[in-house]
Copies of this chain bind each other. A is one copy, B any other.
Amino acid sequence: MTTIEDFTSQYGLVKKIDAFGYMDYLKSNPDAPRKHGKVVLVTADTPLKSVPRRRQDHHDHRLIDALRARGIDATAVLRQPSMGITAAGSKGGASGGGKASLTHPELIDWGLCGEMAAIAAAQNLLVSFAEKAIDEGKLDTILVPRVSEVPSRSLRSITVDAGKNNVAEKVVLTPTSELMQIVVLSRSMDELGKRVAAMIAGTKDGKPVQFGEFIDLWRITDMLADAVKPALTETVNGSPVYVHGGPFANVSIGIPTLVSVEMACALHDVVIVEAGYGTDAGAQKWLDIACREYGAQWPSAAVVVTRASTWRDDPELAWRYPFHVNRLEKLDIPAFPLINLWEGEDDQVPSLRETAAKLGFRDPIVGNLYRDGGEGLADQIDAFADVLANAAAPAARDSHRGMPLIDNVKWVAENAYGVPADRVVLKDGFLDSLGEASELCKDAGLSLDDLALVAVKSPATMTDNDRAPEAERTVTLKKVEVHAGAGLVHVNLTTSLTTPMPKIV
């Protein structure tokens, strides 16, 4: 009998799975045994800039440990952390800490099996191919950036071919690249190849030129042969955890690969999907991009992580967490608050429960997860486990395909950030940028309005002025960028950083 083991190979301390092959096998063998796991979105409050944040990823691990302690076959699917961010000195990584560690955190944090590096090399080779196309007169302007696995602020603005042609470029971190998005969204090598071929390399006389018109596609797909395989590791308690894909949540799509989640759903009953940063970032992108536009599974429940400080340290921003929880509930996603205590906060549990009750939340799950691990949660997750046990298979939601881009952004502003359409502001130059993007798409045989919207924003804010009273908050639209291969259109909001290149500390 063919099983997942036939698609799995050891890769040092972790395993790698040919997920494309396995999903293809299931498709061709509809009677093969498989599960139909439910997706749980683990997301978080929008982070406060003022306090160091423990990543919600830790909580994924603890939740699966807690679920598995109750006999539920649960797993988590995480994004691979950016080695650049780890290298830069942000201590976290995605591998947890304390009682919720993965078994091989050093591996996850420092490049895993080379997936990011392969994506970086392939994206950079695309740029080299584009340069060759310029030499050959097929292109006059390149629109894809080089990437670096390692941050360096001085790479934000560079001049290449210095002393001769002096071409201005910016270098971005690998997780921000279109190729990373393509790896996340593709369900087969064939789809991946087609998406790479459809990427707009640049322009010639103002008209878009796609990579498929001039590259040896096999060189790119050969480079990515292993990078498309999810890694399987486990928590220190032996719970399985898949790691695959790592786009940033604020400037990109912030979700693990679709194929890794779908494979996990075929293998487990509950699949916790880590949606990066706040509910306004990764979760919004899972729901509105992955589910609505790319056929991913609508979550059967959500866990929204926050800290005790949410209602204590920064009252002006205290509106955000309830907004997130309520938004998910309104979308028929049962949203469970998870409040992670730090040392010295145990005595605040009664008042936290009281606040949660006043806000109309479901009973929150509360614990010092670093200290106590998943075990500390096991007796608090009855309601959560009940919801998962009784949830019907979720229906697909409407696509926004064809909705005019500005309406689509306004829809996101209202639904995900709480800012109504009349307070969405178009910055000078936005309409020009929109017009250019629209023209570029048309010339490439696409409609801009058929692309899925990626809101490019700051990780720590939802609006132009989160601290203002609700009626004064605005969202400003700055510019538009097309990622035709990934099928995405980026709209930058005012506070966005388009070249995240952290400082080495």
Contacts and interface: CB of A to CB of B under 8 A. Distances in A.
User: Do most interface residues of chain A lie in helix, strand or loop, or is the interface mixed?
Assistant: mixed
Interface in A304-338: none
A13 B127 CA distance: 30
Interface string A99-120: 0000000110111011001101
B161 A149 contact: no
A160 interface: yes
Contacts of A120: 117, 149
Nearest to A161: B154
Interface string A365-388: 000000000000000000000000
Nearest to A86: B219
Nearest to A170: B162
Given A132-B504, A157-B163, A167-B154, A117 B125 contact: no
Contacts of A151: 128
Given A12-B11, A168-B162, A223-B111, A153 B131 contact: yes
- The copy count of this chain in the complex is 2
Of the four ranges (under 10, 10 to 19, 20 to 34, 35 or more), the interface on chain A belongs to 35 or more
A324 to B, nearest CB: 34
A10 interface: yes
A158 B157 contact: no
A87 B127 CA distance: 12
Nearest to A157: B162
Contacts of A10: 9-12
Which 5 A-B pairs give the minimum distances between C-beta atoms?
A114-B114, A117-B117, A154-B161, A154-B160, A10-B10
12 contacts: A12-B226, A83-B223, A87-B128, A87-B219, A110-B222, A120-B149, A128-B152, A132-B504, A132-B505, A154-B160, A155-B160, A157-B164
